[in-house]
Homo-oligomer: A and B are copies of this chain.
Amino acid sequence: MDKLDIIIPFKWKGAKSRLSNIMTLEEREEFALKMLYDVLTTLEELHKDEYSNLQRRFRDINISILTTTNDLPDFIYKRFEIIINTKKLNEALNEIISIKSSKNNPLLILMSDLPLINVTVVQEIIDRKEDIVITPGRKGGTNILFIKNPSKFKVDYYGISFKNHEKIAIDNGLSYHLYDSLLAGTDIDEKEDLLDLLVFGDGESKKYLEKLGFMAVSKGEKITLMRE
C-alpha cells in the first residue's frame, strides 16, 4: 500500500443553499471556497515530516477535487487534480471508484465542508486496520469514508448514509469501523453549524465568518449566533 487517493466532492456555484436565509449567494460561494481551502490545508500537512508514520504507509498522496465545472479559482486549479463530472454524487463517485479500483489503491472520500478537521483525525482514520472506516456526521450523513480496497465497495450518500455504508460493508463481507469525532462529524450546512465553526475553528473559513460580522454570543447557558 503505497499510494493514497483522496477525493473531495465540491459544489461551488450555488453552494450552501441552506444558508441562503443568512448569506447572499456571493457570500455562500466564497464561504464554500474558504472551507475547501481549510480542508486542503489540513490535507497538505499530511505530507510534512513530523507525520512520518503516515509517510511510511503512503509514499504518495494524490488529492483530487470532484466538481461539475472547470471554472475554479487558481489556488485549486494549479495545485490539485480536477475531476469534472456532472452526474449526481453517488453516480460520479461510483464511476471514479470503478476507474480507481483497477489500481487497487486505498481511497479516502472527504467532504469539502469539514473545516474543523485536523491532521490527527485524518491520520487516525487512515491508520485503522478495518477495510472500511465511516465517519458519521450529524444527523447521520457520511463525512469521511475510507475504502481500503475500492474494488469491493460502492457508495450511497442519500438518507442516513452512514447506515447505508455500514450495510454495504456487511453485505460485502468487509470489516468496518465507525470513527467517532465531533470535529470531523461537524459538516457546515445550516445556520446552527456556523456557531460550531466560530467556537471550534481557527482557519480561513472562520475568519471569513468573522469578517462577515458573525459571532457566537453567550446568553446564560445558551450560545447563539449574531450578525453585526
Where the two chains meet, the residues of A that have a C-beta atom closer than 8 Å to any C-beta of B are 18, 120-121, 136-141, 158-160, 180-186, 192, 195-196, 199-200, 216, 218, 220-223
Complex: chain B residue closest to A183, CB-CB? B180
Complex: chain B residue closest to A221, CB-CB? B158
Interface pair A196/B160, CB less than 8 Å apart: no
Interface pair A199/B121, CB less than 8 Å apart: no
Copy tally for this chain in the complex stands at 2
Instruction: From B18, B138, B221, give the contact of A196 (CB < 8 A).
Output: B138
Q: Bound state CA distance, A160 and B221, in angstroms?
A: 9
Query: Given A158-B218, A218-B159, do A136 and B182 touch, yes or no (CB 8 Å)?
Result: yes
Interface pair A136/B200, CB less than 8 Å apart: yes
Chain B residues whose CB sits within 8 angstroms of the CB of A137 once the complex forms: 182
**Which residue of A159, A160, A200 has the most chain B CB atoms within 10 A of its CB atom?**
A200
Complex: chain B residue closest to A192, CB-CB? B192
Complex: chain B residue closest to A118, CB-CB? B180
Interface pair A223/B160, CB less than 8 Å apart: yes
Complex: chain B residue closest to A159, CB-CB? B218
Q: Bound state CA distance, A140 and B194, in angstroms?
A: 12
Interface pair B195/A139, CB less than 8 Å apart: yes
What is the distance, in angstroms, from A163's C-beta to the closest C-beta of chain B?
8
What is the distance, in angstroms, from A202's C-beta to the closest C-beta of chain B?
12
What is the distance, in angstroms, from A206's C-beta to the closest C-beta of chain B?
13
Complex: chain B residue closest to A182, CB-CB? B185
Other than the given A121-B180, A140-B200, A141-B223, 15 more pairs (CB < 8 A) read A18-B222, A138-B195, A139-B196, A139-B199, A140-B195, A140-B216, A158-B218, A159-B218, A159-B223, A160-B216, A180-B184, A181-B182, A182-B182, A182-B184, A185-B185
Q: Which 3 residue pairs are nearest across A and B when measured between Cβ atoms? A: A182-B185, A140-B199, A159-B218
